[in-house]
Amino acid sequence: MIRIIPFDTLKPEEILNRDIRAEADVEATVDAIIADVRARGDDALRDYARKFDHAEIGDLRVSQAEIDEAFASVEPEFVRTLQMAADNIRAFHQQQVHKDILFERAPGVLLGQKYTPIEKAGVYVPGGTAAYPSTVLMDVIPAKVAGVKQIVMTTPTGPDGKVNPAILAAAVTAGIDLIFKTGGAQAVAALAYGTQSIPAVDKIVGPGNIFVATAKRKVFGKVGIDMIAGPSEILVLADGKSNPAWVAADLLSQAEHDKLASPVLVTDSMELAEKVQAELERQIPQLPREAIARASVDTNGKIVVAANLDLAIDAVNIIAPEHLEICLDDPFAVLSRIKNAGSIFMGRNVPEALGDYFAGPNHTLPTSGTARFSSPLSVDDFVKKSSFIYYTRDALGQVKDRIADFAEHEGLHAHAKSVTIRFEEDGQ
């Protein structure tokens, strides 16, 4: 049963289950996989597919015929759903595109900043026992909007050596056709270093298990990554007028993900807390993933009861959740006071699943308290910023002595000379 904890007795170690460090054996396994993929390339990927996915893989690249076959096998209604979701995701992310900056700081002085898409992006999509076509849309579409030239997707197959048709249908919808049959840490290694079939990329995005997360951390520096994702989290901020059945259902929408997921209710109403506690006990046995939800709720779930809404908001900012639902009549009245949250769901009619699949904002979000300093996946993840400077000779002459003085105070006389030499007769 989920615990009810008064906010004023909440201990730091009780905030959330947030230790995403890998065990030593995971670290060692990932190190060995990365080294093996670097050494043997495609052969290593086929061996790992045989070992972990129980699949025999010939050509690692998904063929156009396989893509067409999968797309044709998916229900037309689901294809329409994918297209509608993709339209929403694309429309939202198009609003994130930046304009280059150029301004005249002084006569003869132009300063600016330009945005350049990265050349190649790698998208990791989990597969195997579960299919996440939503991840395809959320991770590929921002890259397309940003203008990335080549997007490489990797995803594991089932034992039959085929990729889940829903994932391939989402890939078609998102506009990607370079897809490879490999998963786990080995896929991350392949994207980072390249193999005979898989091109090396500049940045890797997408969620995965502890082996994938550890591999992403280890290849960071060779390539960029979006984030190191931990178990999923949801925090529902709700007052006493909230429907306890709805709140319980929203908590379970994340609890069914993973035994390590963290469903949290923060409220100023002990009555609501007790009703949600009882409602969870009623709803959990009805879930197909009952065992997972039960472990998540009992081990990592909690209901935090604060004396008033102000303290409840303080609790939200301390926890810094991945997903935050604000179940109040006027959620906009408190929005400016929310400092730490990955994605915010406003009002009583906005379940977290709306953002997972359909509304448009990205569902690849900072977990493990990293919403204190990081952001959801966006177009920004797929562009680089370069500043630029232009001075005329006259403009440089106006400030040359200042620059030389600054450089000499740092003991960097060649820096100073590189400016002053331009104003010495004949450059001598």
Are the beta carbons of 125 and 139 closer than 8 angstroms?
A: yes
Contact (Cβ atoms closer than 8 angstroms) between residue 61 and residue 199: no
13 is catalytic: no
Residue 290 DSSP SS3: helix
Compute CA 363 distance to the chain's CA centroid, rounded to the nearest angstrom. 7
For residues 90 and 75, give the distance between their C-alpha atoms in angstroms, rounded to a whole number: 22
Q: Which two tokens stand for residue 25?
A: 């054996």
323 noted as active-site residue: yes
- Concatenate the DSSP letters of all residues of 186-207 into one string: HHHHHHHH--SSSPP-SEEE--
Catalytic residue among 279, 322, 325, 352: 322
CA distance readout (Å), 28 to 211, 219, 373: 10, 14, 29
| Six-digit token string for 419 | 């400016």
Q: To 10 degrees, what angle do helices 290-300 and 244-255 make?
A: 100
Interatomic CA distance for residues 195 and 154, integer angstroms: 13
Cα–Cα distance for residue pair 280/236, rounded to 1 Å = 14
Q: In this structure, are residues 302 and 3 in contact, taking their beta carbons and an 8 Å threshold?
A: yes
Q: Say which of 93, 257, 323, 363 is annotated catalytic.
A: 323
Q: Which segments of 147-243 does DSSP mark as H helices, in order?
A: 165-174, 184-193, 210-219
- Contact in structure between 90 and 379 (CB atoms under 8 Å): no
Phi first, then psi: what are they for 4, rounded to 5°?
A: -110, 125
Q: Which residues are catalytic?
A: 322-323
